[in-house]
Structure 1
Amino acid sequence: MTHARVLVASALLAGCGGGVATGASTSTVGGAPIETLAANQSFPLQLASDGSALYWTNHLGGEVVASIGGAAKVLATKQDYPYGIAVDGDAVYWTTLNGGTVMKIAKTGGTPETVASDQLGPTGIAVDENFIYWTNTYAGTVARAAKSGGKPEAIAKRQAQPASIVVSGGVAYWTNHGTAPALTDGSVMRRADGGEPVVLVSGRVNPSGIAADARAVFWVDHGTEGGGDGSVMSIALEGGQPTQLAAGQRGAQELALDDANVYWTNELDGTVSRVAKAGSGPSVLVRGQDRPYGLAVDASHVTWTAYREGAIKRITR
C-alpha cells in the first residue's frame, strides 16, 4: 500500500502486489488457533469493538458490517469507500473517503444518517460523550460535530495529512502523516477542548495509528515504504520525551491497547505483535497474514482485518 496516505482505492490496490511475507498462517500464543470470523469481505480495513460486537468497513465493497455473536450483519451498503469506524453505546460511525461524508447508524440497523458532508478525504474517526471527531486528510483539517446535531467545526487547520484520531478526557490526539512524498515530517498532535493544537512530537516518519489511556498516548510510525524502519512509540499525555517501545517494524499500521500492553499490525510483513506498555519484550503473536490492517482488542480476543485476503480473523488472548 502506498503511504502518501491519500487512501483511494487505486493507491490501496497498487500496494497489493508483493512485499508481504508469505508462508504459513501461524499463531505463537500457546498454539492458539487462528479463527476466521468473516471471509469473502471486500477489502476490509478499519475495525472497532464495543466489547461485545465487532464493526468494520469494507472499503471496496462499500459496506459497513457488524459481527454480533459471530454472525456477520451488513449495516450499510453503497457507501463511497468507507474507511474509519468508531462505536459508542448506541451507534456506529464511519467516514467515506471518496464520498466526503461522516455517517452514523443505530447499532440495531435502520437508515444511515449523514453527520457531515462535503468533507475532503475524511479518514480517522473517534467519538466521546458529546462529539464525533474526524480527520480530513486531503484538506489538512481536524473537525468535529455535536452528537446532538448542528454544523461541523474545524478544531485544527493546516495539518500535514491528518490521519488517525483518538479522544481521551475531552482531549483530541491525532497523527499527521507528514508532507508527501518523503513523509519524514510527521507529527503527533494534542488539542484540549477550547484550546489550540499543540505539537506533542515532530519529525516522525509517517505516523499512523494512535491510541491513548489515562497516562499516555501511543502511536505507530509506519516508516518508509518497505524500509523496516517503523516503530511503536509512546509519550505522556501532556508531552515530554517520547519512548520507543519497538523498532524495526515493516509497515506498522494500526494499534490497540489493553491494561498492560500495546498491540499493532505490521501490514508489510504480515504480523500482529504485542509489547508491554512498560516497553519490555516485543513479541509476534501471529505470522503469515495477508496484509493485516485494522485491529481491536477486547477481554478475550485480538482481532484484525486482513484486507488482501478479505477476512476478519482473531486469536484468543
Structure 2
Amino acid sequence: MATDNDLVLVARHLAAALCLLGFAACQAITGLDEFSISSTASAPDPGAPEACQPGWHACDGTCTDLSGDPLHCGACGSACGTGEICVDAQCTCPSHRPRCAGGCVDLRTDPQHCGACEHDCSGQTCADALCAPELLMTGLGTLRALAVTHGALFWTEASPGRVSSIPSSGGARTDHATSPAPHALAVEGDTLCWTDSVAAEIVALDLTSGVTSVLATNQPSAYALALAGGFAYWTTYEVGEVLRIPRSGGPLEHIASSQVGAFGLAVGDHHVYWVNQDGGAILRSPLDGDALPEPIATECPAPRAIAVDESHVYWIDNVGIMRHDTLAGGPLVPLTEPPVSPHSFVLGGAYLYSTDEDGTIRRIPTAGGEPLSLAVDQALPSAIALDATHVYWHNAGDGTLMRVAR
C-alpha cells in the first residue's frame, strides 16, 4: 500500500510534467509551499491579440495580412517604399504609377518622368503626360529647314529669302545672309551650308568668322544637303544627280546620275544614301561614287526624308517610317502605322523624332515600339531639328518656332 510520502512524490512529478507542458497553475496543483520549478517559456506579449485568424500574423500587436499590408509586406516590419502597394507579399507599383528610377511615379504629371521613364521636361511642367512646349518665335514666312548648333537655332526662309538664327532658348533674330530662295540646311563643326534652289548654288557660312562662300554653282533644284568628312553632299531633284564637293575647295564629284527625282539624302560611314521620290526607290553608293548605285528598296510610295546610323537606314514614304538593316539585309520593318503620317524626321540616338500631319511631334524608338507623343495640336508642323536636350520645329500653319524636351 502506498504511503502518504509516496503520494506526495507522485504529485510532485505530475506537477512538474504539467508545468513543462505550459500549465501555469503549479502551486494550485501541488498545494505545497516548498514546491517550485523553473521554466524557459516566455511570457505572452500583453499587447498582442488573443488570436489571429488563419493566414494572418501578429505584427506590432495587430493582426495583419502579410500578403497585402504595405507596412508588413511578406514579413513583419518589411515596409514598401513610397507609393508602392503590397500584392501577393511583394512590393510593387500601381498600374497607373510605373516604376521609374527606383520609385513609383505618375507619368501624367511628373516633370522628371513625363509620359515615359526618364523623359525630363527640362524645367517645364508636365500635364497629361506632355511636357509644356516653348514658343521661341512668331511671324515667320515660308521656312524650309532647321539646324541647331553653337547654342543657336538656324533656319532658311524662302520668303523672304534669308538665313537667320535665334538663341536656342529664344531671343532676338540674327540675319546671316540674304539669298533668293534658300532651301536645304546642314551643319558640321563651324560650317553651316545651305542650298539655293533659284540661284542654283551651294553656299557655306563660317560660323567663327561670319564669312560666306559659294562652294558650287549651276546646281538647280538642290533640295537635300548633308555635311560629312569635310565634304558637302546634295541631290538635284530635276537633273537627277547625287554630288559632293570638298568644303575646303576642289573639283565637283558626281556620285550618281540619271536618278528619277533624287530627293532626301543621308551620309553614313562608307556610303551615301538617297531616295528617288518619283522612282520610288532607296539607293546607296560608296562615298566616292566608285560603283554603280545599289538599290536597297524599290516600289516605295513617294519616299522623301532619309536617315542612317551604323546599321540601319530609315526613310519616310506614304506608308510611314520604314527601317532596313544595311548589314544583315532582310525585310523592311515599319516603325509607324496608319493613321500616323510623318512629314519630316531627324535621328537622335535610339530615337527618330518626327513632325506629323496630324499636328503631333513624336519620339519613335529605332528598335521598334510604341511612339511617345511629345507635343500635340500643333499647326501643320514641318521642318524639325535636334540638340542634346530639345527637339525644335516650325509650324507652317501659324509661322511659329517651337521646342520641347526630347
**2:387 is matched by which residue type in structure 1?**
D
Tell me which of 161, 172, 193 is aligned to 2:261: 161
**1:296 is matched by which residue type in structure 2?**
A
**1:283 is matched by which residue type in structure 2?**
L
Shift of 1:158: 1.2
**2:269 is matched by which residue type in structure 1?**
G
Shift of 1:159: 1.1
Pair 250,140 (structure 1): closer, same or farther in 2 beyond 3 Å: farther
Pair 60,112 (structure 1): closer, same or farther in 2 beyond 3 Å: same
**2:354 is matched by which residue type in structure 1?**
W
Shift of 1:216: 0.8
**1:76 is matched by which residue type in structure 2?**
A
Q: Aligned residue for 1:45?
A: 144
Note if contact 2:306-2:316 (Cα within 8 Å) is conserved in structure 1. Answer: yes
Between 1:207-216 and 1:119-128, the stretch displaced more is 207-216
Q: Aligned residue for 1:298?
A: 387
Query: How far apart in 1 are the matches of 2:301 and 2:208?
Result: 40
Q: Aligned residue for 1:220?
A: 316
Q: Aligned residue for 1:192?
A: 286
Q: Aligned residue for 1:17?
A: none
**1:131 is matched by which residue type in structure 2?**
F
Note if contact 1:144-1:154 (Cα within 8 Å) is conserved in structure 2. Answer: yes
Shift of 1:232: 0.7
Shift of 1:251: 4.5
Is 1:245 the counterpart of 2:346? The answer is no
Deviating beyond 6 angstroms after TM superposition, the runs of 4 or more aligned structure 1 residues are none
Query: How far apart in 2 are the matches of 1:277 and 1:220?
Result: 13
Between 1:288-297 and 1:247-256, the stretch displaced more is 247-256
Note if contact 2:191-2:207 (Cα within 8 Å) is conserved in structure 1. Answer: yes
Q: Aligned residue for 1:64?
A: 163
Query: How far apart in 2 are the matches of 1:109 and 1:28?
Result: 43
Larger Cα-atom Rg: 2
Normalised TM-score (structure 1): 0.81
Unaligned runs of 5+ in 2: 1-125
Tell me which of 22, 34, 37 is aligned to 2:133: 34
Tell me which of 80, 105, 109 is aligned to 2:180: 80
**1:243 is matched by which residue type in structure 2?**
V
Query: How far apart in 2 are the matches of 1:29 and 1:191?
Result: 45
Aligned residue runs from structure 1 range 140-151, under 5 A: 140-151=240-251
Query: How far apart in 2 are the matches of 1:105 and 1:61?
Result: 19
**2:333 is matched by which residue type in structure 1?**
T
Identity %: 29
Deviations 1:37-62 (A, max 9, x none): 22212211211223733221112221
Q: Aligned residue for 2:216?
A: 116
Pair 76,251 (structure 1): closer, same or farther in 2 beyond 3 Å: farther
Deviations 1:17-49 (A, max 9, x none): xxxxxxxxxx97733211122221221121122
Between 1:128-137 and 1:275-284, the stretch displaced more is 275-284
Deviations 1:264-303 (A, max 9, x none): 112x322212221121112332222222111112221111
The structure carrying a bigger strand percent of its residues is: 1
**2:299 is matched by which residue type in structure 1?**
G
**2:201 is matched by which residue type in structure 1?**
T
Query: How far apart in 1 are the matches of 2:142 and 2:378?
Result: 14
Is 1:203 the counterpart of 2:292? The answer is no
Deviations 1:237-267 (A, max 9, x none): 244321111021465221112222111112x
Between 1:245-254 and 1:142-151, the stretch displaced more is 245-254
Q: Secondary structure at the match of 2:305?
A: strand
Q: Aligned residue for 1:12?
A: none
Deviations 1:155-198 (A, max 9, x none): 111111111111111421111111xxxxxx41111111333211
Note if contact 1:200-1:240 (Cα within 8 Å) is conserved in structure 2. Answer: no
Q: Aligned residue for 1:261?
A: 351
Work out the number of aligned pairs and report it. Answer: 276
Query: How far apart in 2 are the matches of 1:249 and 1:211?
Result: 22
**2:162 is matched by which residue type in structure 1?**
E
Shift of 1:98: 2.0
**1:281 is matched by which residue type in structure 2?**
E
Shift of 1:117: 1.0
Q: Secondary structure at the match of 1:99?
A: coil
Note if contact 1:75-1:109 (Cα within 8 Å) is conserved in structure 2. Answer: no
Q: Aligned residue for 1:99?
A: 199
Q: Aligned residue for 2:373?
A: 284
Note if contact 1:128-1:170 (Cα within 8 Å) is conserved in structure 2. Answer: no
**2:177 is matched by which residue type in structure 1?**
A
Unaligned runs of 5+ in 1: 1-26, 179-184, 224-229
Q: Aligned residue for 2:324?
A: 235
Higher relative contact order (CA 8 A, sep 6+): 1
